[in-house]
Structure 1
């Protein structure tokens, strides 16, 4: 699977690496966050056996028909929803979070363990700029990837086909196809 399989990577709705969200775009994003939060709250309150109700709300959250054999267990969280693209046979376990403003694409057959988190936007490190804008980049997860419980995938990451992300891993760099990654990534990069 390539990025072109879904929206073109140069789609103006997606943030390029380091692009900033400012002004009117930020206000529109804030409005969508409120709408998506209301929809996901309703989704998460439905009885577990109300598959039709969950499917209808999920279509509203994503803004498109659901792909075949998609499974999403509540609770499910997204801050935007319209930029979360899911392939066929995707399985998303309980308690997962998708901050998808810059775009998240999960390819066919992707399995996501409970409490995994995907983050496409963040704040600048500089404290003077931190409250003034957001920056980010899309996440691409290629076909047949398994993401373990509690893993975190950060902006701009591509995870190659058939890869495995171990439980609790923090993924800040691209992951080659058919590889296993594990462990925390955090380390001091600079001081000020």
Structure 2
């Protein structure tokens, strides 16, 4: 069986083009999800595929960065596939995990995907620092009014009761009380 895996990171993207390419590549089943590629946690469709595939199956992706954005995760996934006897193929990149050259190319692509992610993070941090220097960036607006927490505490409610009433955690209540004090 040929299984396809499509992934996008943000809600303003969609997997339609990837799904179409994977079906054109002869995939019997295609799984798609909208999750970050920088970590494996929370990627339920990928986890399902990795658990379900058997010896002789093939996992097909359009590009390596759709599978993983870190070299460590990519190597972990490839190791899992190899241990099960599952091959990996990319529709847009010449990846063949059964040859030394294909494995080296796969590793290089993984390095570039991780490098791109790191560059994006650096640019984001630079932008935040610049916005803070201009006084534009204030951070996320608080979800809970700290004065409300303080008022409920003054009325005699405990941290657990305040948390239940405001729909927050007890730890958050305690942080609010420390910040107001």
**TM-score > 0.5 by shorter chain:** no
- Say which structure is richer in helix: 2
Whichever structure has more strand as a proportion of its residues is 1
TM-score calculated relative to the size of structure 2 = 0.24
TM-score scaled by structure 1? 0.23
